[in-house]
Each structure stands twice: as structure tokens, then as C-alpha cells.
Amino acid sequence: MPGAVDGDWTAGLDETGRQAWALAGWVARTVVPEAAGTAGRYWILSHLDDAAPAMLRLTVGVLEIFGLYETGEEIWLRSHAAPIVSAMDAGAVDLEEWQRRGIEVADDSTRTLAEDKVLVTCPDLATARWLLRQPPVVAGMRLLSCWVAAGPYSFEGRYRPEVVARAWRASQLLDGDGLDAPTGGGNGFDRPYTGAAPTGDLPAQRSFDADAYRAGVSEHDRLCRALIAHLARSDLAAGAGLAGVSVDVAWRDADGRQFIAEAKSVVGDNEADQLRLGLGQVLEYRHRLATRGVAVTAVLLTSRCTDPVWPAVCVGSGVLLLTGDDEPAWRATLTTAPDG
């Protein structure tokens, strides 16, 4: 955590104020590249307590990315336009729902990357939390942050480490890491699987490999769709998300057992890293669901697994391992799985 919290971070804040600080901290941690190590160099979080009402403002590079009032009355954010526009074109964004919730999208008038970004405003904290659960929005904010966080910039005069530390702590203690809230899952999943598409305009900076990113997104989508199609052949409906937890694929089998799957694409030589990441994610999701009273059988779906130790690792963790290059074995693995 950058800096240290001086005293009780909740001092002087009501519940809305605490949630505002938590949201600001979550956004900084989520959208800023390498946020923990670059505070004060690539980005700052300002607390404008002389304003009426007091305001929190996240600046990355030369651009204000996110801002809100402590009263939660208005929240605004800047995002790269490409992910949002692509999602709109693909029908993955429900514009009527955005309008119903009072979300407004406008061309941004600031000069930095003027033609490549949009300004989005929300009327309250609940709407902002809902909006930030939409993958194209977070993807757009991350992409924009990557573009502008190429510093270093001279923030020494305005950087207040205690402000960053306070918001960081708030995001940890007030569920800032997980904006999702339980939403039912009466069908065994929250929503239909829609997939994701890589954006066309990606920054070629630092160690970002745009071609590998696109290949990974495409392979991830292929795996999810292959699993959904496999289940459909047994008359099982599958979708994405469960009880507000962002699992890749979720479904119930014919006996009513609840399953979740985390898909991990293997592209090039990243097999070990993807297996480790995928196992950690699906264990986290299983735990989060258990705390919400939802028992599940966890599945790790990966493109391939050439290391013979991994099936045993997954068995020891109570996780089913499926590989994209051995689909004929999926049915037996899933039908003989122990109850979650």
C-alpha cells in the first residue's frame, strides 16, 4: 500500500463518504498501470476538501481520469472510446439501460487524446458501481491510463501520500476489490455469455504486446464458447457470472449441481503462468460464492496442459481440470465430479 494511514481513515466520514473513498481507491488500484509503485510519479489522488462539497480526483499523467464528490451526488470518468464503441457496435452495451440509469456519454473537450476518449457521468455511487462492473468501461479506462501514464511527471508539489493511503485502505476494507453484488443466478448463471473482442487501437509501449493480447482474448473466447456448446449438447444452459461474482462460465447440471469455470488461454510459452493464475482465480471465486451461501464445483479450463503435475495439483485443490485439446474427455470429467 502506498504510504501510511495517519489515524482512523474513517474519521469525519459518513457511510456515503466512506463508500466514495473506497470507490476512488478501487478505481486507482484497478485502472492505473502498476499503481502501487507509481503513486506520486505517474498518478495522484487529490482530496479537495476546500470545495463544497469535498471532492476526490484521480489524475494519471496530465489527465484527470476519475472524480467524485464525497456526498456521492455525481461521478465522472474518462475512458478510451474504442472498447465502449466496439461494445456498442456489437450490441454488448445496453444503451437503453444506461439512459434509464441516468448515465451520460459525451465527447470529451480536453485536448489530450481529444478524439480518442469519452466523458461518462453518473448521478450517484450505486450507478457508478454498476457502470464499473461493465468490462468495456474498465477496459477503456485502463487503456486510456496506459496511454497517458508514460511520465514521469512532476507531482511532488501536489502529491499527498496520506490521501492515496486512505483511499487504498478504504478500497480494501469496504469491499472496494469487488464491486459485484449478489444478483440471483436463478438459471445457474447471471447473464448470457457475450464474449469479448480485442480493441483495434492498442498502445505499443512498455512491455505491452498487442498481438499476444489479441490472440489471448480470442483464445479465451473460443474456450468459453466451446464449453457452452459442449454443455448445450446435453441440454444444459450456461452463461457468465454467478451471484455477482464474475466467473467466466456458470451452469447447473441435470442433477442441479452448480458449476463455475475459469477459462485461461495459453498462447506461446505462458502455460505455467496461466495455470497458476487460473487456479488462483477459480479458488477465489469459489470462496466468494461460499461466503454468499452458494456451493459450487470449480472447473479450470485451459487451452492445454503439458506438465503432468497439474492434474494432481487441481485434484488436491478440489478443482476439475479441462483442456481445450481434449474435449472428448470433458463429459466424463464433469459427470463424475463430486458435489461442490
pLDDT tens-digit series, residues 78-109 = 998 888 888 777 777 777 788 888 999 887 77
pLDDT of 113 reads 63
Answer whether 101's CB lies under 8 Å from 130's CB: yes
pLDDT tens-digit series, residues 282-320 = 999 999 888 888 899 999 999 999 988 999 999 999 999
pLDDT of 206 reads 42
Neighbours of 255 (CB within 10 A): 7
Question: Does residue 207 register a pLDDT over 60?
Answer: no
pLDDT of 234 reads 92
How far is CA 291 from each of CA 191, 250, 253, 296, 327, rounded to the nearest angstrom?
A: 21, 17, 22, 11, 32
pLDDT of 12 reads 79
What single string gives the DSSP state of each residue in 254-303? TT--EEEEEEE---TT-HHHHHHHHHHHHHHHHHHHHHTT---EEEEEES
| Amino acid present at 198 | P
Domains of the chain: 15-173 (no CATH), 210-335 (3.40.1350.10)
| Amino acid present at 41 | R
Mean pLDDT of the chain: 82
In the chain, the DSSP E strands lie at 43-48, 55-60, 63-69, 75-80, 104-107, 117-122, 238-239, 249-252, 258-264, 297-302, 319-323
Number of helices (H), then strands (E), belonging to the chain: the values are 11, 11
Confidence band for 322, pLDDT divided at 50, 70 and 90:
very high
Question: Does residue 179 register a pLDDT over 50?
Answer: yes
Question: Does residue 130 register a pLDDT over 70?
Answer: yes
Answer whether 243's CB lies under 8 Å from 190's CB: yes
Question: Does residue 235 register a pLDDT over 90?
Answer: yes
Which residues lie closer than 8 Å to 331 by C-beta, 6 or more apart?
230, 234
d(CA 265, CA 303): 5
pLDDT tens-digit series, residues 251-272 = 999 888 999 999 998 887 778 8
Nearest Cα neighbor of 247 from 233, 231, 258, 232 is 258
Confidence band for 176, pLDDT divided at 50, 70 and 90:
very low
d(CA 83, CA 125): 23
Which residues lie closer than 8 Å to 59 by C-beta, 6 or more apart?
43, 44, 45, 46, 65
Cα atoms in the 13 Å half-sphere on the side-chain side of 10? 10
Question: Does residue 184 register a pLDDT over 50?
Answer: no
What value does the mean pLDDT take over residues 15-36? 88
| DSSP secondary structure letter of residue 187 | T
Question: Does residue 197 register a pLDDT over 70?
Answer: no
What single string gives the DSSP state of each residue in 107-127? E--SSTTGGGEEEEEESSHHH
Share of the chain above pLDDT 90, in %: 31
Question: Does residue 1 register a pLDDT over 70?
Answer: no
d(CA 225, CA 324): 11
Confidence band for 68, pLDDT divided at 50, 70 and 90:
very high
User: Of the given ranges (163-177, 181-195, 299-313), which has the lowest mean pLDDT?
Assistant: 181-195
